[in-house]
Amino acid sequence: MTDIIIVDDHPMLRKGIAQLLELEDDLHLVAEVGHAKDALRVILEHEPDLILLDLNMPGQDGLNTLNQLRNAGVDARIIVFTVSDDQSDIHRAIHNGADGYLLKDIDPMTLLSSIKLCVDGEQVISPGIEKVVRSALKQRLPENMHPALSELTEREKEVLRQIASGLSNKEIGQKLIIAEGTVKVHVKRVLAKLNLRSRVEAAIFAHQHNKEF
């Protein structure tokens, strides 16, 4: 079961997505957030697997919220779900740790499949903006970062390998025979030590340096 939280100030859109998620037995909406200022509190309370985050919200925009979540150690998959195809928004979202960027004109069934792909560790991108996203992600990943691997413990390296395989925290815990909460701690430490903002970046980093650890 994948726990999901929607952060969007439009009640009708939240209701529509909620109804869409009800079609899938393995997707569970645990909370809706209508104000960005409440996002961190609600997300830390529920610890979801995936967050759908709007960019354009009153009070505090989604990019600041995204940055706040990653700085607080939230390691859930985060998909920016917005009407904006502005290149600067895309770059800032990827730089701040988004795992995907979907435009709100997406087909409902494609949204569902994209959510599942993101949960499985893949980056999800709306058609037409792939090049911009790839460019932003490439710029985000620092060069010559492999020396940081020496900072990882053997257990953290094991967790990094499993992230690269697309496993969820629960699946990693089952494979390594450790508690899911312990996996979350390891994931946060891996991201911090490697100066990464998301699991997608961690997976890409692991594939780039797979012969080194």
Looking at every residue in the chain, the average pLDDT score rounds to: 87
pTM (2 d.p.) = 0.73
Which DSSP helix (H) or strand (E) runs through 82? strand 77-82
- What CATH number corresponds to the domain at position 122? 3.40.50.2300
Q: Which domain holds residue 159?
A: 141-208
Same domain, 74 and 131: yes
- Note the pLDDT of residue 153: 92
Which pLDDT belongs to residue 157? 92
User: Do residues 135 and 145 both lie within one domain?
Assistant: no
Q: Which residues lie below 8 Å from residue 191, measured CB to CB, with a gap of 6+? A: 75, 197, 198, 199, 201, 202
CA nearest 89: which of 102, 72, 76, 107? Answer: 102
- What's the number of domains the chain is made of? 2
**SS3 assignment, position 31:** strand
| pLDDT per residue as tens digits for the range 28-67 | 999 999 999 999 999 999 999 999 999 988 888 888 999 8
In this prediction, residue 144 carries a pLDDT of: 47
Q: What pLDDT, on the 0 to 100 scale, is given for residue 128?
A: 79
In a domain, 107, yes or no: yes
Given this model, what pLDDT does residue 141 score? 53
Q: How far apart are CA 100 and CA 115, in angstroms?
A: 9
Are 157 and 57 in a shared domain? no
Note the pLDDT of residue 145: 47
Residue 127: band (very low, low, confident or very high) from pLDDT cuts 50, 70, 90: confident
- Claim to verify: residue 77 and residue 158 sit in the same structural domain: no
Residue 213 lies in a domain: no
State pLDDT tens for residues 101-123: 999 999 999 999 999 988 877 77
Residues 67 and 160 reside in one and the same domain: no
Q: What is the CATH number of the domain that holds 181?
A: 1.10.10.10
Q: Which residue has the tokens 């899938």?
A: 24
24 in any annotated domain: yes
Which amino acid belongs to residue 33? V
Whether residues 129 and 199 fall in one domain = no
Residues near 169 by Cβ (< 8 Å), separated by ≥ 6?
A: 49, 75, 180, 183, 184, 187
